[in-house]
Amino acid sequence: MINQGSQSSKINLSGLPGKRAGIKVEKPKNTKQVILRLWKYLIREKPLLFFIAILLLINTGATLAGSYLLRPIINNYILPHNIPGLIRMILLLLSIYVIGSLAAIWQNRLMISAAQKTVSLIRSDLFSKLQTLPLKFFDSNSHGELMSRFTNDVDNVSDSLNTSILQLLASSITLTGIFTLMVYISPMLTLVTLFIVPFMLWVASRIIKKSKSFFTSQQTSLGIVNGYTEEMITGQKVIKLFSYEENASADFEKINYELRDNATKAQYYSGVMMPVIQNLNTINFALTATVGGLLAIFRGLDLGGLAAFLQYSKQFGRPVNEISSQYNTLQSALAGAERIFQIQVWTT
């Protein structure tokens, strides 16, 4: 019984946790390859993806159209005191937003369905692959670390497919539409609005670069903690036999501290993105409003156009914000997906 427990738990009584067999520090992932592999799974849900794309366009179009309607509402109905026309336009605006809201609800519902089907296929393929691997694979990889790929890594992929991908697509389309309408209303104000954008993108890229490495390290450290915990639990007889309790606790403290350190840094850089971009966007909005007011006074910019432009200017930072924040979540998911695919491509 003691010999069997020792073999199954794979406890290394002489080594440090970071040097256990099968546990390596991951190098920066091949983002393009991982995305292509995920897309091969997701594309199997073509009918759902088609309807999601249609609903996404409807939702985005409703958002853009609702903001642009401020221009005719102010110019043609509020300033001339046309109350009956104003009521009709408000009802039209309300209808557009209702349609957009319904499209958003259904697109999220369909995306969750497509994501869960995709994750189910990934999990099934991963389990099937494990059945074909030789014993030497399981001897060189701890049970807990493998379980971490089934649970934590798959959950990260699931969360990203549920929200991040759809949000990234919606934000990209919205950003393109907003930019087009801003140029249509006032090219000069558009240049003012875009003045600070390069700086915003530079700040975002620096934060993303930092968070990317820490998210990968976080997933690696989590797998090490799970693997070591599983080893210690299944190998309690061996630990008691060799009086290894204090060493096991000391080793766990080391890898637990490493996980805490990596997770803290990853979450910090992920969380700092939103307030930084929001503050820069507020400064940009104030600058645009000031220049827009001067254009309305001296260059004849219509008040409705100014109101619509300021609305778009305020919205312009939101998709940039969302893309930046969701990118961090996507990085965590890609780190987990790569760990999953590392098993799927393992050859005997």
| pTM, two decimal places | 0.65
Assess whether pLDDT exceeds 80 at residue 208.
Answer: no
Residue 94 is predicted with a pLDDT of 94
> 274-287, pLDDT tens digit by residue?
788 778 888 888 88
pLDDT at 25: 32
Return the domain boundaries, the chain: 17-44+134-344
Specify the pLDDT at position 328.
65
Region 107-128: mean pLDDT is 88
Handedness of CA 192, 195, 200, 205 (dihedral sign): positive
pLDDT confidence band for 21 (50 / 70 / 90):
very low
Q: What whole-number distance in Å separates Cα of residue 87 and Cα of residue 150?
A: 56
Q: Per residue in 130-159, is it b (16+ CB within 10 Å) or e — as a string?
A: beeeeeeeeeebbbbbbebbeebbbebbbb
Q: At what angle do helices 165-185 and 46-68 cross, to 10 degrees?
A: 30
- Indicate the range of 81-90, 239-248, 321-330 predicted with least confidence: 321-330
pLDDT, position 184:
92
> Mean pLDDT, to the nearest integer, of 62-70?
90
Classified by CATH at the fold level, domain 17-44+134-344 comes out as ABC transporter transmembrane region fold (1.20.1560)
Mean of all residue pLDDT scores within the chain: 80
Residue 324 confidence (pLDDT): 65
**Cα three-residue angle 325-216-248, rounded to 5 degrees:** 130
Instruction: Compare 345 and 88 and report the one with higher pLDDT.
Output: 88
310: left (phi over 0), alpha (psi -120 to 50) or beta: alpha
pLDDT single digits (tens) 264-274: 888 887 777 77
3-class SS at 183? Answer: helix
